[in-house]
Chain A
Amino acid sequence: MSRTYDIPIVSRGRIMHPQGDDAVEFGGRAGARFRAPDPHKHIGDLVLGDPTRLRDLHEMPVREIIAFLAALGPKLALDRNPHMREAFDLAVEAGGLTPPVLRSVFDALPGLFDAAYLEALADRTVGIAHLNGWVPQGEGPMARFRVRAVGTRQLHITAGNVPVVAALTVIRSALTKSDCLIKLPSNDPLTANAIARTMIDLDPNHPLTRHLAVAYWKGGDEMMEQAICRTTRIDKITAWGGMSSVRHIQKFLSPGIDQIALNPKLSMSMIGREALEDAPAMKAAAAGIAVAAGRMNQTACVNTRVVYVESETDDASIDKVIALGKEIHAAFQALPEGISTPAPRPNRDLEAELQALDLEEELYWVKGDTIRGGVIVSRYSERVDFHADLNNRVVNLVPMPDLSKALRWCDDSTQTVGIYPERLREEYRDALALAGVQHIIALQPSAATASDDGTEFPGMPHDGIEPMRRMVRWVIDEAPEEIAVSLAAE
């Protein structure tokens, strides 16, 4: 049923296909096979040993970089781009997301390359002036202190659960005028590849094309990572997701290599007692939860898995939480297919968990399954112990007589907290932030269009940090006092 996909190395404007001796096979998701050139033979193609070779990008105005990216965006449209089509087909085969959801995710990719958006992104993060030249930091004599944001050599260990990661990586490294090496994930080895190949189609000699390399090697391949992660070859490592990939790479961190860790995250929601008081409020909260949990079929870090509901734990109170649970289950079924669909196949482990809890009716109420989505209501103020594995649109509602106690379960791995109603925002915003939470959103059906990490507004922080500001090197050019005076006089 599954075919073998070729994953070429795309490096600095050249495409290297696996062939003859220079080919290794590896297994991907759901039985698909991949064939790639032997990465060990191509280390020289992947890294930029001499950082001064970044001069071409360094001297290119941000406006020209944006122009290239803006031209690239429309060419990534699924219907016109065979490389992207192949990435899409493979993603469908891998089965993490269903075709309608994938379709909307892929359809959103070209929009990320919108010129106005990119300009705002560059300016609101690093600052276009700082990317283009040396910016005086003060007035008069203080103008002798000048700062420039300088591009770096970056390794990106990307996550593959959504293709947007590949696009975002290309954009961020381009806007920071950096040399970009992408290590492909086995669960999406083709999207970054497709973007790089489309860049070659557009202009194989463009400095952005010449500063992008994309390859697959097995995460934890010590020989590879040792050869690449050297201060002479890499300045910054961005590690997305995957605790084991982050751990592997940390072994090679040494002073001089900066790690930008976008660790694995989980998200949750908090619902006030108002949602249990009348039917319209309950429906609104349920619709919000359905979107927060169901979007991208609950495969991403932004998805709600546990919902803390302000409620006592007596039977009458729990009945109301169960009523909310029924509304959420119904709301899952009503989600538009571009946002969320029934799962293509059951999740056997989670199914077994649901069935085990279903036998304990005095402790849990369970509805649904891992195809259409499900709800577990704890009759006790505790989340289920497999909360991190909640998937396929299954949420756990936990009654909390004192909602503030839910903070006990928040830490730096808690990315997004959805809240309903807005009263909770004022009440908990600061406590959540101090506990480690990185993004607080309103639970509402319209949030269906919101992106993962607040990128709908350009340049928002990501997982509590500002990655683009960390991707550049901030360099001071400090002139002597008298020259500063004469400069100021000009």
Chain B
Amino acid sequence: MSINTAKTVTLPADDPGSWPYHSIDDLLAISRHDYEHAQLEAMRFRFARLKTGVEALSRLVDRQGVEDFDSFEAALPLFFDHRVYKSYPLALIETRDFAKLTAWLNRLTTHDLLRIDLTGLRTLDDWLDRLDENGMLIGHSTGTTGKLSMLPRSRTEWPHWEATYNEAMRATTGVDPKTDFVPTFYPGYRGGHHMLAKMLELFNIPAAGGPEHWHTLYQTNVSSDLMSLAGRLQSVEDKSELIEMGLDPALLEAREAMIEQGRRREADMEAWFNKLIEEFRGKRVKLGGSFGDLVRVAQMGNAKGVKPGFAPGSFIMTGGGLKGVKDGPDDWETYVKEFFGIDTVGIVYSMSEIMGAAPRCSHGFYHMPPHTVLILLDPDAKPLPREGVQTGRCAVFDLMAETYWGGFISGDRITIHWDEDCGCGWKGPRIGGEVTRFAEMEGGDDKITCAGSQAAYNEFMNYVMQV
């Protein structure tokens, strides 16, 4: 089955991979009531093809005894908890047991990873490189314990991912990254396998017009080895233990260097930005970085009387919180716009686990296109009504995932406005307000028990997370 709209957008349930190739304006012109049935049928289509090919899903089907579903709610028992993507033992990384790590990942994808030659691999980055050379596009996020979630995305999904992301960027900035190339600044790493770094690299280099127009604060990639072992390295004070673990002592030095780099980051960022401000005076640019970074640069610039003068049509693409910013302005956006002399600020809402991205509209909401199914859950993991304004844990189904299971329950707490009455004119469920991680909401209360572990304060991760 499929639906047809007045604008002749066709969303065939047996080909959800075709959905992201429509213009996002057309996709957001359709009411969700006109495509939710097609979404459900498309989920069933994916399920029928993946339930035997993705071993972990087969196991879940057996455990839950659910062979089919006729509603979003009935499909929920088959969604992966976000923990599924990091259920490997950390020892596999510490001992660099890439065969077992590959076998673990193999259970999450239809690709046959066991055929990949693993000889000569020394580091986690090597392993991720090797997987990518063999058709995968693995991105990892950061766990609170430093354990990385690995998303088994592949080149099969890449065209969909590229199409949907570029359209979301165009929708929120008005600049088409496929045709209008703009030199880009980003106060972080050049790339890497961390999902955010990977996306920046994948999408920004072409949009900037080539690597020579992708200006980053650091000239290296973020190290997945250091991120994954941060917790362990923190506790390894004695180098003999490192050697016993079989780790390269150079890792410890790399870690020290990274911490040092992190300490200097603010000053480095200021110098780097100021240089670019001069170099690109009168030119059209795109600025990246977190809200916090941009506010800091503006604060430092204002203090020193720096006046950027970029050409009209310059724009900012940002995201992330104001963590670490002291005395941040209430209206950070106006503050940043005024300092840089730039009117356009684009933001999209997404998560590492999905390819879909919701562009921010002129009214400050994030509208999710039909290729990503959103379901909000109450504290008992039951779906909240799809009406009015609801806040809860976000479950998603990424219909663009062809070689891995797209159903997953996140750790994000979001607010969705289900009534399609946004003043911007776009339809579809829209996300508003603050996004918080459930993990961040826990703790900080006044309950005291004698059980618990010394929460290892991990200075290192604080710096690394400034990617």
- Supposing A218-B446, A356-B81, A385-B147 touch, asked if A264 and B451 sit within 8 A by C-beta, the answer is yes
A262 pairs with B81, CB closer than 8 A: no
| Cβ of A333 under 8 Å from chain B | no
B446 pairs with A219, CB closer than 8 A: yes
Chain B residues within an 8 Å CB radius of A378: 89
- A-contacting 9-mer, from B172-180, B181-189, B452-460: B452-460
Give the CA-CA distance A165 to B448 in the complex, in Å.
Answer: 11
| Cβ of A159 under 8 Å from chain B | yes
Chain A residues within an 8 Å CB radius of B455: 243
B89 pairs with A355, CB closer than 8 A: no
| Cβ of A456 under 8 Å from chain B | no
Give the CA-CA distance A364 to B453 in the complex, in Å.
Answer: 24
- A-contacting 9-mer, from B55-63, B263-271, B274-282, B306-314: B55-63
Give the CA-CA distance A176 to B319 in the complex, in Å.
Answer: 57
Give the CA-CA distance A79 to B235 in the complex, in Å.
Answer: 50
| Cβ of A242 under 8 Å from chain B | yes
Which chain A residues numbered 172 to 229 have a C-beta less than 8 Å away from chain B? Answer: 185-187, 218-220
B56 pairs with A359, CB closer than 8 A: yes
Closest chain A residue to B439 by CB distance?
A349
- Supposing A264-B454, A358-B59 touch, asked if A241 and B449 sit within 8 A by C-beta, the answer is yes
A185 pairs with B446, CB closer than 8 A: yes
Give the CA-CA distance A158 to B446 in the complex, in Å.
Answer: 11
Give the Cβ gap from B434 to chain A, nearest Cβ, in Å.
Answer: 21
B451 pairs with A363, CB closer than 8 A: no
Closest chain A residue to B107 by CB distance?
A360
- B-contacting 9-mer, from A51-59, A61-69, A295-303, A476-484: A295-303
Chain A residues within an 8 Å CB radius of B100: 380
Q: How large is the interface on A (under 10, 10 to 19, 20 to 34, 35 or more residues)?
A: 35 or more
| Cβ of B436 under 8 Å from chain A | no
B83 pairs with A356, CB closer than 8 A: yes
B91 pairs with A380, CB closer than 8 A: yes
A159 pairs with B449, CB closer than 8 A: yes
- 8 Å CB contact of A352 from B81, B107, B147: B81
- Supposing A264-B454, A362-B103, A363-B88 touch, asked if A241 and B448 sit within 8 A by C-beta, the answer is yes
Give the Cβ gap from A378 to chain B, nearest Cβ, in Å.
Answer: 7
B103 pairs with A359, CB closer than 8 A: no
Give the Cβ gap from B85 to chain A, nearest Cβ, in Å.
Answer: 9
Give the CA-CA distance A137 to B354 in the complex, in Å.
Answer: 74
A-B pair count, CB < 8 Å, reads 131
- Supposing A358-B59, A361-B59 touch, asked if A265 and B447 sit within 8 A by C-beta, the answer is no
A353 pairs with B83, CB closer than 8 A: yes
Chain B residues within an 8 Å CB radius of A242: 447-449, 452
| Cβ of A240 under 8 Å from chain B | yes
| Cβ of A322 under 8 Å from chain B | no
B448 pairs with A245, CB closer than 8 A: yes
| Cβ of A357 under 8 Å from chain B | yes
- 8 Å CB contact of A356 from B84, B90, B443: B84
- 8 Å CB contact of A186 from B59, B89, B90, B445: B445
Give the Cβ gap from A96 to chain B, nearest Cβ, in Å.
Answer: 8
B449 pairs with A161, CB closer than 8 A: yes
Closest chain B residue to A356 by CB distance?
B83
| Cβ of A388 under 8 Å from chain B | yes
Closest chain B residue to A262 by CB distance?
B450
A160 pairs with B447, CB closer than 8 A: yes
- 8 Å CB contact of B450 from A219, A265, A357, A359: A265
B449 pairs with A382, CB closer than 8 A: no
- 8 Å CB contact of A299 from B90, B445, B449: B449
Chain B residues within an 8 Å CB radius of A380: 89, 91-92, 100
A161 pairs with B450, CB closer than 8 A: yes
B91 pairs with A360, CB closer than 8 A: no
Most buried by B among A218, A262, A352: A352
| Cβ of A292 under 8 Å from chain B | no
Binary contact readout A143-173 vs B (1 if CB under 8 angstroms, 0 otherwise): 0000000000000011111100100000000
Give the Cβ gap from A360 to chain B, nearest Cβ, in Å.
Answer: 5
Chain B residues within an 8 Å CB radius of A364: 87
Give the Cβ gap from A87 to chain B, nearest Cβ, in Å.
Answer: 16
Give the CA-CA distance A359 to B88 in the complex, in Å.
Answer: 11
B107 pairs with A264, CB closer than 8 A: no
A363 pairs with B89, CB closer than 8 A: yes
Give the CA-CA distance A185 to B450 in the complex, in Å.
Answer: 12
B452 pairs with A388, CB closer than 8 A: yes
Most buried by A among B91, B449, B451: B451
Most buried by A among B81, B89, B409, B443: B89
Give the CA-CA distance A99 to B126 in the complex, in Å.
Answer: 55
- Supposing A356-B81, A380-B91 touch, asked if A303 and B451 sit within 8 A by C-beta, the answer is yes
| Cβ of A348 under 8 Å from chain B | yes
B453 pairs with A266, CB closer than 8 A: yes
Closest chain A residue to B94 by CB distance?
A382
B452 pairs with A265, CB closer than 8 A: yes
Give the CA-CA distance A186 to B447 in the complex, in Å.
Answer: 6
B449 pairs with A360, CB closer than 8 A: no
Chain A residues within an 8 Å CB radius of B147: 385
| Cβ of A317 under 8 Å from chain B | no
Chain A residues within an 8 Å CB radius of B107: 359-360, 362
Give the Cβ gap from B150 to chain A, nearest Cβ, in Å.
Answer: 13
- 8 Å CB contact of B451 from A301, A381, A382, A412: A301
Give the CA-CA distance A9 to B248 in the complex, in Å.
Answer: 59
| Cβ of A263 under 8 Å from chain B | yes
Give the CA-CA distance A29 to B107 in the complex, in Å.
Answer: 40
Chain A residues within an 8 Å CB radius of B91: 380-382
| Cβ of B104 under 8 Å from chain A | yes
Give the Cβ gap from A36 to chain B, nearest Cβ, in Å.
Answer: 13
| Cβ of A244 under 8 Å from chain B | yes
| Cβ of A413 under 8 Å from chain B | yes
- 8 Å CB contact of B452 from A29, A219, A243: A243
Which chain B residues numbered 310 to 359 have a C-beta less than 8 Å away from chain A? Answer: none
Closest chain B residue to A160 by CB distance?
B448
Give the Cβ gap from B90 to chain A, nearest Cβ, in Å.
Answer: 6
Which chain A residues numbered 105 to 129 have a C-beta less than 8 Å away from chain B? Answer: none
B449 pairs with A357, CB closer than 8 A: no
Binary contact readout A370-405 vs B (1 if CB under 8 angstroms, 0 otherwise): 000000001011101100100000000000000000
Which chain A residues numbered 229 to 260 have a C-beta less than 8 Å away from chain B? Answer: 240-245
Chain A residues within an 8 Å CB radius of B63: 355, 358-359
Give the CA-CA distance A373 to B91 in the complex, in Å.
Answer: 26
Chain A residues within an 8 Å CB radius of B379: 348
Chain B residues within an 8 Å CB radius of A157: 448
| Cβ of B163 under 8 Å from chain A | no
Give the CA-CA distance A363 to B56 in the complex, in Å.
Answer: 12
Give the Cβ gap from B189 to chain A, nearest Cβ, in Å.
Answer: 25
Give the CA-CA distance A356 to B89 in the complex, in Å.
Answer: 12
Closest chain B residue to A298 by CB distance?
B451
B444 pairs with A244, CB closer than 8 A: yes
Chain B residues within an 8 Å CB radius of A361: 59
Give the CA-CA distance A348 to B438 in the complex, in Å.
Answer: 12
Chain B residues within an 8 Å CB radius of A381: 91
Chain B residues within an 8 Å CB radius of A266: 451-453
Q: Pull 27 A–B residue pairs with CB atoms less than 8 Å apart, ordered by A.
A: A157-B448, A159-B450, A185-B446, A185-B447, A186-B445, A186-B448, A241-B450, A241-B452, A242-B448, A242-B449, A244-B444, A266-B453, A353-B83, A355-B81, A356-B81, A356-B83, A359-B56, A359-B59, A359-B60, A361-B59, A380-B89, A382-B90, A384-B89, A385-B145, A385-B147, A388-B453, A412-B454
Beyond A299-B449, A380-B91, A413-B453, 17 extra complex contacts between A and B, CB < 8 Å = A159-B450, A160-B447, A161-B451, A185-B446, A187-B447, A187-B449, A241-B449, A241-B450, A242-B448, A243-B452, A245-B446, A262-B450, A348-B381, A355-B63, A360-B107, A363-B87, A382-B91
The 8 closest A-B pairs by CB, nearest first: A264-B452, A242-B448, A161-B449, A356-B83, A382-B91, A301-B450, A241-B450, A186-B446
Binding site for A on B (CB under 8 A): 56, 59-60, 63, 80-81, 83-84, 86-92, 100, 103-104, 107, 143, 145, 147, 379-381, 409, 443-455
